[in-house]
Structure 1
């Protein structure tokens, strides 16, 4: 059987598949050519770049499995593929810590103005040092502040654990009933259970000093005009989930008005061409959708994806 890893796969995952007797092709096929060239494969693995919609699925009745290296599967018509007898799998656990650490890279970046100072120091550091020092003199600490987590799945919980480890208070909201505490493991195998509190979505908006979102995009933004009005003044927002979860135009207005002190975005409405207003805003910390882009996460994704594909294809 032949597998097309159209958006790449970690070498360890590739080796696991090859050792199991599969041929793995890592050459990328452009989206517009897939309906023809995908006919030569039994399965495909993708990340977020390649789209597998109903017309493409219909054009490739040979497909037995679709593997998504990562969590969200909004680039795949999952239920339709499954209705055609195609196994659709993803790797929800493998990248949780990497995304959580990126969230806190952005939060630490935001509370100490690094997103702006890294832009201005190369230009003004030798001529305007004193003014820059004064401009960035009002940083705040994360310890003792309240982090609101919207969506308490694997990534939301891993993010909450990092927050607890830094001494933050954690409140969260989710569609389902969640835990009242989380266990943290420190070096030396020391395990500590710390409390978290589940509250209504509106309470997360009203009570949080910082909010991080870990939900899929549904019919409308999770935080739009009405939700911005409920936020605590000076809140910091982080979106490392999906573009569109925060209304970007409303976000710009909230930043300009001082309602939001800073925002951090790893995902965007118009990927791969984000709005210029977002990219150039002085109070937005930016990364190009790299939440799962660590060596450790990619290795875990590759291993998990390979083993799931083997199970699916050898049924």
Structure 2
């Protein structure tokens, strides 16, 4: 039974979901780093919020950890590159608080439009400054949306319901999706020039850092109002204050800051500035949703192999996982085979699927192929860290999907480029369940890839099989199965033998010394 630790406070329903799905769970919150290090080694999964910091030291101590689930969007508290290198899946729950965050952005738009915080403070101070607080309507105003993903699209739908016009800047927004959302797709400069309100809904990356820089803020329409409920660092806060001070920017509302907790900021006290302490996800509904989702996602992964909202490997739904599982076994065996036989430096790896395999999610298959190949470099490799190992070694990975159906109902082909040229292996599933090799380096040969095997590349000649059998038999090594293939009579041939025990090096040298032998390799699956 897999075992999970919940190390941050979560809704108690999360623990019950684990138990209902057959996962043992401990709820131990408030652990100090050294306390967590002492116990983390016994767990297969770790469920966290923002309090637990999953550092390199904790990951090193987590010798059995397979997955980390973050109840929420931000994963700044997880060392994702190091977790990936250790083969640990890192998941978040990006949709559990989407509506909550979108509603907070809309609330701040209204607060800016009607100067609600200042009007409240004035009134409660005993003043009645009715003429001081002259607001603006949002109806018919243009909302500029920077980021039109999940949360941004919800904000757009709410804004359209308020009879606002919505212009969206997002490099990944297609014209078709823009039409579906009912928004105008624009460039960033076009958005800055026309928007009465700007709201940001994009992650913080090298491309988006200070996307509202001093230069871009200067391009905005005079009287613009700006809302950020996404990530601190998207706005140059000093330039924002300058724009508020000189009146070019009519108002700004930030729920996030470049440095948090933001206990002090030059923006504090600036007229027409509103701040909230990162409340985007702070509703009771959102807190329950993200806790339930992280429990479901971790349970799916640990019990069925389903991967949802992973940040360092392809997603694979719990429904897809049973269908893909036998193909994953085939992919890893083919990768292992070519990895054990192609000993030159690899420069390119191609993964091709055709027939029914072409209908599957190919990303997990590629991960499994890479895991098989990269095992030559590391004995702790898996589907999570294999792509990172390949990238570190400068190996280019390509995926090809063919609509055609050939001799087999489904086919998976792995081709590697080495200094000696391309080497290719192909396999299929027998009975939609059993992995089977069907082609090895261009030679048709059918074989199960299992246990210990002996690969012999030779020139086809009479009596060769008997010679090999005699050498192994005289040493007391039993042959389980043997599989033959050749290009043509008397030409290059391949012999794959399954053996009950490892073949010693001296016996392999005897086989290599036989006439017409080109290469002998010991294989293990």
TM bucket normalised to smaller: 0.7 to 0.9
Alignment counterpart, residue 205 of structure 1, candidates 185, 192, 215 = 192
SS of match in other structure, 2:144: strand
**Count of aligned positions:** 298
Q: Name 1:189's counterpart in structure 2.
A: none
Q: Name 1:249's counterpart in structure 2.
A: 238
C-alpha change, 1:59 and 1:105, in structure 2 (3 Å) is: same
SS of match in other structure, 1:309: helix
For 1:69 and 1:112, the matched residues in 2 are separated by 34
Q: Name 2:138's counterpart in structure 1.
A: 142
C-alpha change, 1:53 and 1:228, in structure 2 (3 Å) is: farther
C-alpha change, 1:64 and 1:282, in structure 2 (3 Å) is: same
TM-score of the pair, normalised by structure 1: 0.87
Alignment counterpart, residue 263 of structure 1, candidates 248, 252, 259 = 252
TM-superposed CA distance for 1:227, in Å, is: 1.1
Alignment counterpart, residue 205 of structure 2, candidates 213, 218, 227 = 218
C-alpha change, 1:49 and 1:285, in structure 2 (3 Å) is: farther
Q: Name 2:114's counterpart in structure 1.
A: 112
TM-superposed CA distance for 1:291, in Å, is: 0.9
CA contact (8 A) 2:201 2:229 kept: yes
Report whether the alignment pairs 1:176 with 2:182: no
TM-superposed CA distance for 1:279, in Å, is: 3.3
Report whether the alignment pairs 1:298 with 2:299: no
Alpha carbon RMSD of aligned pairs, Å? Answer: 2.1
For 1:100 and 1:58, the matched residues in 2 are separated by 38
C-alpha change, 1:35 and 1:121, in structure 2 (3 Å) is: farther
CA contact (8 A) 1:87 1:312 kept: no
For 1:106 and 1:9, the matched residues in 2 are separated by 27
Report whether the alignment pairs 1:309 with 2:298: yes
TM-superposed CA distance for 1:105, in Å, is: 0.8
Deviates more, 1:263-272 or 1:24-33: 24-33
CA contact (8 A) 2:7 2:29 kept: yes
CA contact (8 A) 1:17 1:24 kept: no
C-alpha change, 1:236 and 1:8, in structure 2 (3 Å) is: same
C-alpha change, 1:205 and 1:6, in structure 2 (3 Å) is: farther
For 2:288 and 2:161, the matched residues in 1 are separated by 25
Q: Compare CA radii of gyration and give the structure with the larger one.
A: 2
Q: Name 1:25's counterpart in structure 2.
A: 27
| Bigger share in helix | 1
SS of match in other structure, 1:144: coil
Pairing of 1:57-206 with structure 2 (within 5 A): 57-123=59-125, 125=126, 128-129=127-128, 132-136=129-133, 138-178=134-174, 179-182=177-180, 195-206=182-193
For 1:107 and 1:203, the matched residues in 2 are separated by 21
Q: Name 1:13's counterpart in structure 2.
A: 14
TM-superposed CA distance for 1:34, in Å, is: 4.0
CA contact (8 A) 1:152 1:172 kept: yes
C-alpha change, 1:242 and 1:212, in structure 2 (3 Å) is: same
Which 5+ residue runs of structure 2 have no aligned equivalent?
306-525
SS of match in other structure, 1:245: coil
| Higher RCO structure, 1 or 2 (CA under 8 Å, sep 6+) | 1
CA contact (8 A) 2:245 2:270 kept: no
CA contact (8 A) 2:96 2:289 kept: yes
CA contact (8 A) 2:15 2:25 kept: no
Residue-by-residue CA offset, 1:3-45 (whole Å, 9 max, x unaligned): 3333322222221113233213151224575444544543222
CA contact (8 A) 1:268 1:274 kept: no
TM-superposed CA distance for 1:239, in Å, is: 0.8
CA contact (8 A) 1:5 1:28 kept: no
Report whether the alignment pairs 1:50 with 2:39: no
TM-superposed CA distance for 1:55, in Å, is: 4.3
For 2:65 and 2:6, the matched residues in 1 are separated by 13
TM-superposed CA distance for 1:134, in Å, is: 1.2
Q: Name 1:187's counterpart in structure 2.
A: none
